[in-house]
Amino acid sequence: MPELPEVETVRRGLQPVLEGHVVADVVQRRPDLRFPFPARLPERLRGRRVARIGRRAKFLLIELDDGQVLILHLGMSGRLTIHRGDVAPPGPHDHLEFVTDDGVTVRFNDARRFGMADFAPPGGPEAHPMLADLGPEPLGNEFSAAALAAALAGRRSPIKAALLDQKVVAGLGNIYVCEALHRAGISPRRSAHTVPGVRAERLVTAVRDVLSAAIAAGGSSLRDYVQADGELGYFQHSWQAYGREGEACPKAGCTGTIRRMTQSGRSTFYCAAHQR
């Protein structure tokens, strides 16, 4: 599933081709993805100017000049791609298409159909059921060691599971939680309530660093993920733990080996030598 860096990379790729432009046409080729598309979706978008493209956690927020906000989620394999000039015929998984006033086409392709598109309610995106209970943005000022300590207080679950809870911190997924815990030297098995303090400070720094590096590198490329311009991300070449089972731990001075275990049905990659 595309994680925060991938979604942020897509947002930045869409900005120059959508912001300030009018949506001249919208083509909807099926009634639903994970959920039904909102009623009259094409009619509500046609003729509207895109004021801003934002992001909340793993959700894209397309703000229009009439106050509407279209919320998009890429699901497991969804992608938004940009096409200029002569556009090839749509493929079987090109379910939604936006055409701008200068002829750019943006396609929402989703082979597994776990993505979604919906309009924000009158109260704004934060009032939408899928966004209402999200925790702080990990790159925002609200995410701090103190805030993390408060969210983890009393939690007996492993810290990895706690970080994947979107109510604790928004937008983190399996890959970057593994990477952040490795950088912070914290075992993914450690009980979440024991992290506050120095460990929480290290973890907040590690989360920020790994996400910033991944965004700068264009996100990670896993199977179907591509940036909005069609280019594959390449942060996976900088992974220190994820996908490196059996390799020597790259942490300076560490003599351990990267191991893999399963937690809550997901692979966890870690180094038992320095992650405690």
Per-residue model confidence (pLDDT) at position 233: 60
pLDDT score of 124 more than 80:
yes
Over residues 130-159, the mean pLDDT reads: 96
Residue count of the chain: 276
The predicted model scores a pTM of 0.91
Which residues carry out catalysis? Answer: 2-3, 58, 266
Domain architecture of the chain: domains with CATH = 4-127 (3.20.190.10), 145-239 (1.10.8.50)
What span, in angstroms and rounded, lies between the C-alpha atoms of 76 and 244? 22
Mean of per-residue pLDDT scores for the chain: 93
Q: Where are the beta strands (DSSP E) in the chain?
A: 23-28, 50-56, 59-64, 69-73, 79-83, 94-100, 105-109, 116-119, 258-263, 266-271
pLDDT in tens, 223-258: 455 667 766 565 666 889 999 999 999 999 999 999
